[in-house]
Structure 1
Amino acid sequence: MNTGPTGQAIDTTRHRALGTVSRASILELTRAAAGGLTIAEVSARTGLHPSTARSHLDRLVDAGLLVKARASGGQPGRPAWRYRPVPEEAPAPAPYRALAAALLEHLARQGRGDVRAEAARAGHDWGRHLAAATPPGGKPVDTAVAVLRGLGFDPELRPTADGHTEIHLYTCPFLELVSRNPDAICGLHVGVVRGALEQAGAPPNDAVLEPFGAPTACVVRLSLPADDSTGPK
């Protein structure tokens, strides 16, 4: 077995991914960008053709060095992929990761329909189940935050300027799965939030997940007022 200078095993996949100056430079550029970079931004900064930049970025994703998701920034239309570095450490509750991986494999085998929508429906049921196990009587938003915290997302509630609420997710316990199917895993996450909110008495579909919606976090946007207290008593 190959070992590095400190006796740790060398990750040959990552080692090969960084075997070119271009990919190493792209990784450093992405790490230096607070909110990650799109293919167009990498192309503009490096002078590489967009197709070449995409190939390098996806190689870094495959190696587990970057993760990608679609981030619209609130703009209409189909958003571009945005790439950002994988944190050195991320919580990874094994049972939940295994469940999410099994779901992704199932959706891949089905090969039909809207994968994100299907994952969101599965996540909705999962979110209701998890919320049912939390102490009753709290606000719907607090229930959703408790569910997300239990999954390892490191959530933080933030009021918005228009009086609504956002939940910032600073870590993701499923990053390695995001690389395999970003649309499906992000759909699963928003479904979990919607299910938890609905179980606690909030209106259905009251959550929108914006991957990379903040420089250091994914953002769940809610239409619920920040001080909403509706829900079962």
Structure 2
Amino acid sequence: METPRTGPTGEVVDAARHRALGTASRARILELVRAADSGLTIAEVGERTGLHPSTARDHLDRLVDARLLVRARASGGQPERPAWRYRVITEETPAPAPYRALAAALLDHLSRRGRGDVRAEAARVGHDWGRHLAAATPPGGKPVDTLLAVLRGLGFNPALHPTADGGTEIHLSTCPFLELVARNPDAICGLHVGVLRGALEHAGAPPSDAVLEPFGAPTACVVRLSLPPGPPSDAPGGETTTN
């Protein structure tokens, strides 16, 4: 076991992060990702640095392992898998311990199985979980209200953003499962999609209405809905803004 070291003022030095930034290339990549509002793909990093894509991927994954970056796929609601997009880790608000334990157990289960579509299996589990969480919210609310209550309970800090076409975006400015996203982004993002759709289904809305876009906004992941948001007073605790 490596003994923690301290810096000049006595703070503990994070050796993994120190090693991750031990090359000029990785330090430069981290600067580039920090400057990109919506993060960068491997191809974009390669274009900006001149590095071969496989080299850029190795550097990016080292920064993920050091918890300096997080990666996710922007599904856009489509079955195909787009490129990984990397973004700087921001301060996180942990989910309640039982929820984190449940998500961690799911990851362990899926990793042991080693077969099938991890994202789809996680989404199925999340769907049931979302229905269960929605059933515990106050009855009689609109579907968007129910979904906001579930997201607030999980620690996502959701904020409503009505769209010009009458739909709704919900910006998730914190990810309470960020440490698990670093371990298996497909599984955790799939779990979140399932929770969204399960909660909507319980509230009487079409579950396929919800699309989760990781890094869809400069400082948030974005849930896109065709449902109207309703007036601000209908969603206590969820700030409503306009685009």
Same fold per superposition (TM over 0.5) = yes
1:211 corresponding residue in structure 2: 214
Q: Is contact 1:72–1:80 with CA below 8 Å preserved after alignment?
A: no
Partner SS, residue 219 of structure 1:
strand
AA matched with 1:179? A
1:90 corresponding residue in structure 2: 92
The CA deviation at 1:136 is 0.9
The CA deviation at 1:197 is 1.2
Tell me which of 46, 49, 66 is aligned to 1:46: 49
Could you tell me how far apart the structure 1 residues matched to 2:102 and 2:75 are? 28
Residue 148 in 1 paired to residue 151 in 2?
yes
Could you tell me how far apart the structure 2 residues matched to 1:97 and 1:86 are? 18
The CA deviation at 1:77 is 5.1
Partner SS, residue 30 of structure 1:
helix
1:196 corresponding residue in structure 2: 199
1:20 corresponding residue in structure 2: 23
The CA deviation at 1:204 is 2.6
Moved over 4 A (4+): 72-77
1:109 corresponding residue in structure 2: 112
Could you tell me how far apart the structure 2 residues matched to 1:32 and 1:125 are? 38
Assess, with a 3 A threshold, how the Cα gap between structure 1 residues 114 and 73 changes in structure 2: closer, same or farther.
closer
Residue 56 in 1 paired to residue 59 in 2?
yes
The CA deviation at 1:200 is 1.6
The CA deviation at 1:50 is 1.1
- Please report the RMSD computed on the Cα atoms of aligned residues, expressed in angstroms: 1.8
1:125 corresponding residue in structure 2: 128
The CA deviation at 1:158 is 1.3
Partner SS, residue 225 of structure 1:
coil
Residue 164 in 1 paired to residue 167 in 2?
yes
- Equivalent pairs counted in the alignment come to 227
Residue 220 in 1 paired to residue 223 in 2?
yes
Could you tell me how far apart the structure 2 residues matched to 1:9 and 1:47 are? 35
Partner SS, residue 106 of structure 1:
helix
2:70 corresponding residue in structure 1: 67
AA matched with 1:154? N
1:185 corresponding residue in structure 2: 188
Partner SS, residue 205 of structure 1:
helix
Assess, with a 3 A threshold, how the Cα gap between structure 1 residues 125 and 72 changes in structure 2: closer, same or farther.
closer
Q: Is contact 1:208–1:222 with CA below 8 Å preserved after alignment?
A: yes
Gaps of 5+ in 2: 232-243
Q: Is contact 1:73–1:213 with CA below 8 Å preserved after alignment?
A: no
Q: Is contact 2:76–2:211 with CA below 8 Å preserved after alignment?
A: no
Sequence identity percentage: 81
1:134 corresponding residue in structure 2: 137
Moved more, 57-66 or 209-218: 209-218
AA matched with 1:203? P
Partner SS, residue 138 of structure 1:
coil
Could you tell me how far apart the structure 2 residues matched to 1:29 and 1:73 are? 24
Moved more, 115-124 or 214-223: 214-223
AA matched with 1:90? E
Structure 1 length normalisation: TM-score? Answer: 0.92
1:7 corresponding residue in structure 2: 10
1:231 corresponding residue in structure 2: none
AA matched with 2:225? L
The CA deviation at 1:115 is 0.8
Gaps of 5+ in 1: 229-233
AA matched with 1:116? R
Assess, with a 3 A threshold, how the Cα gap between structure 1 residues 29 and 74 changes in structure 2: closer, same or farther.
farther
Could you tell me how far apart the structure 2 residues matched to 1:201 and 1:41 are? 41
